[in-house]
Structure 1
Amino acid sequence: MASQSDESEKSATGLSGQDLWEEVRIEPVEIALPGGVGLTLRAFRKASELTPTEVVIDEDDPFEARKKRLAAEDEEEVIADDEFSALLTEGEVDQAVDEDAKAASEEPDPEDFEDEAVEEDEAADEDVPMFLSHKGKLLAFKTPESLVSFIRSGAPHDLAQLDSWGTLAERVQSTDIDPQADDRYELDLVVENLRGGHDSWDLPLLIAAGEVARDLGYALRLKPVILALSPGSPLDDLDDSLRTTESGGMGGFFGRRRLKKIGAQQASLGWRSVIGKISAAVDWRD
């Protein structure tokens, strides 16, 4: 039977444990790297709801590319308006309208493309990951107590923009920092496992590593990691074969055949580079 003090504490702090994480839609994550095991936080939100972490802008930065595309579309509209005004002053608008009408009669109906436009908008605003990070660095803590202390400190970080952050900062206790099994990643074992050869490859370990590496690459805007794991890359082919093999059945049979064709040395070297880039982007806070 719970004591009166226990009940008072519960009523004062509200939800705790997994119930708290589900309410705030944030989750504790444990990532083992060559430099140590770190605790941090991760959240998934619509891309339109988030301001990306601040980093030195790269010409090929995926976030800046999206902004440039939108700016280019706005610029095209302005140019079109200017050209129309020029035609008015030159008395050529009637001819231009006739030509546009003729072209429109020969072109597909714009309504035919409405579904495609909606699909593109939805894809651009899909759920994306964000970690407890600041200026392109992942903030990692070696103890639950140090992580909770930071959460309550009011120090700047990227998750502070979430509308549920205040609730978490007010209620979280060190006992709540207990990542689920699916939120524990062992990147420190990946290279060694790949070097052991195809027969010793740990499929769940490698698949999970690919998931968190993609999340970190996107959230921290690590261009080398994003490119290394991009569709069609050797590491992406490896990941696809691992998942097919893990699924079992006839697909698993063909997946194993594909894995046999992937060089263990090439895979281990590729992953070593990815883990090195991620490790360099970690800010150990204790």
Structure 2
Amino acid sequence: MASTLWDDYQVTPVEVALPGGKVGLTLRAYRPASELTPTDVSDREDDDDVFAAKDSRRPIPGLADDEEMPEFVWTKEALDEVAAGPAEDEVAERRVEAEEAADDDDDEAAVSDEEVPAFLSHKGKLLLFASAKGLADFVRSSAPHDLKQLEGWSKLAKSVKADDVVAGEDDAYELDLVVENLRGGPDAWDPELVLRAGEFARDVSYALRLKPVMVALSPGSPLDDLDEALRASADGGLGGFFAKRKLRKIGAEQASIGWRSIIGKISAAVDWRD
């Protein structure tokens, strides 16, 4: 009955174990980004804006800081060209720019349709419940949260009972074990444990707009490289052999410190409700 209920509304119970012996239940759903309004983080202290564009200006080679740029002088030919209107190459350039803008709009539309995670959260906080009854009672209440925007939510909320709130094996995450495991070094590392923790951390950091966590696990970061090596190692074969060699080059201290910071950020964004 429970699985049918969740399947019908495409919402899933999730269990998360955090340091200090705390285990909480929440809900997660995936929806097209265009259908979701991000959680309100206006009350949160600003993190470094990882999406801010960097200054792309570069010094001009051969030109000292105190040297003046030569002044542009209009020629008769240039003035005549302006008076005659746009040249053919300029028209062609504008056409190309218009086509590129249209392509960009198509790309943005595709991105907006990409499925992204949403959690039982409110104002940038992940709502966790120590008991299934606490979560079910909350869902049936009129309390505000971010999943209320989902289509069909009111019907789901009326149907949820404590017995329904059971996280499957694939939706249970042991973040409390990650740091200690990584401290043991490559020979002790548990790929499934770390990779699953990364899955949850990426989802919750996106849903809660936890920018430092998003950056720490972004493509090309040391912890993302760790994930890739763990995946390849678990797959075995020749790629697994080289992955194991790569894992030995990744410092256990660096990995454990990085994950300790991630888990600390997530724990600080948790609102325990019972």
Q: Calculate the TM-score normalised by the size of structure 1.
A: 0.78
Q: Distance in 1 between matches of 2:182 and 2:234?
A: 16
1:40 maps to 26
Gaps of 5+ in 1: 1-15, 66-93
User: Match for 1:27: what amino acid?
Assistant: T
Aligned 8 A contact 2:47 2:211 in 1: no
2:176 maps to 188
Asked if residue 243 in structure 1 is aligned to residue 231 in structure 2, the reply is yes
Change beyond 3 A, Cα 1:150–1:97:
farther
1:87 maps to none
* Secondary structure, aligned partner of 2:204: helix
RMSD: 2.6
* Secondary structure, aligned partner of 1:98: coil
Q: CA deviation at 1:116?
A: 6.3
Q: Distance in 1 between matches of 2:40 and 2:167?
A: 27
Q: CA deviation at 1:121?
A: 3.0
Q: CA deviation at 1:183?
A: 0.3
Q: Distance in 2 between matches of 1:97 and 1:273?
A: 63
Which residue, out of 151, 162, 172, partners 1:174? 162
Q: CA deviation at 1:233?
A: 1.2
Q: For residues 233-280 of structure 1, give each alpha carbon's deviation from its aligned partner in whole angstroms, at most 9, with x where no partner exists.
A: 111111111112122222222211111110001000000000000001
Which residue, out of 124, 130, 135, partners 1:136? 124
Which residue, out of 212, 222, 241, partners 1:234? 222
* Secondary structure, aligned partner of 2:86: helix
Q: CA deviation at 1:102?
A: 3.5
Q: Distance in 2 between matches of 1:97 and 1:25?
A: 62
User: Match for 1:223: what amino acid?
Assistant: K
Q: Distance in 1 between matches of 2:142 and 2:150?
A: 14
Aligned 8 A contact 1:214 1:226 in 2: yes
1:152 maps to 140
Q: For residues 210-234 of structure 1, give each alpha carbon's deviation from its aligned partner in whole angstroms, at most 9, with x where no partner exists.
A: 0000111111111111111111111
Which residue, out of 86, 106, 125, partners 1:99? 86
Q: Distance in 2 between matches of 1:51 and 1:203?
A: 34
1:24 maps to 9
* Secondary structure, aligned partner of 1:45: strand
User: Match for 2:2: what amino acid?
Assistant: G
Q: CA deviation at 1:115?
A: 5.7
Q: For residues 76-118 of structure 1, give each alpha carbon's deviation from its aligned partner in whole angstroms, at most 9, with x where no partner exists.
A: xxxxxxxxxxxxxxxxxx9689316531335774687566653
Which residue, out of 34, 39, 51, partners 2:37? 51
Q: For residues 117-169 of structure 1, give each alpha carbon's deviation from its aligned partner in whole angstroms, at most 9, with x where no partner exists.
A: 53453134311111100011110001111100000011000001111211211
1:212 maps to 200
User: Match for 1:54: what amino acid?
Assistant: D
* Secondary structure, aligned partner of 2:15: strand
* Secondary structure, aligned partner of 2:143: coil
* Secondary structure, aligned partner of 2:24: strand
Aligned 8 A contact 1:61 1:221 in 2: no
Change beyond 3 A, Cα 1:96–1:146:
farther
Change beyond 3 A, Cα 1:59–1:281:
closer
User: Match for 2:147: what amino acid?
Assistant: L
Aligned 8 A contact 1:30 1:184 in 2: yes
User: Match for 2:237: what amino acid?
Assistant: G
Q: Distance in 1 between matches of 2:166 and 2:223?
A: 30
2:266 maps to 278
User: Number of matched residues?
Assistant: 244
Change beyond 3 A, Cα 1:257–1:24:
same
* Secondary structure, aligned partner of 1:99: coil
Q: Distance in 2 between matches of 1:18 and 1:181?
A: 13
Q: Distance in 2 between matches of 1:227 and 1:189?
A: 22
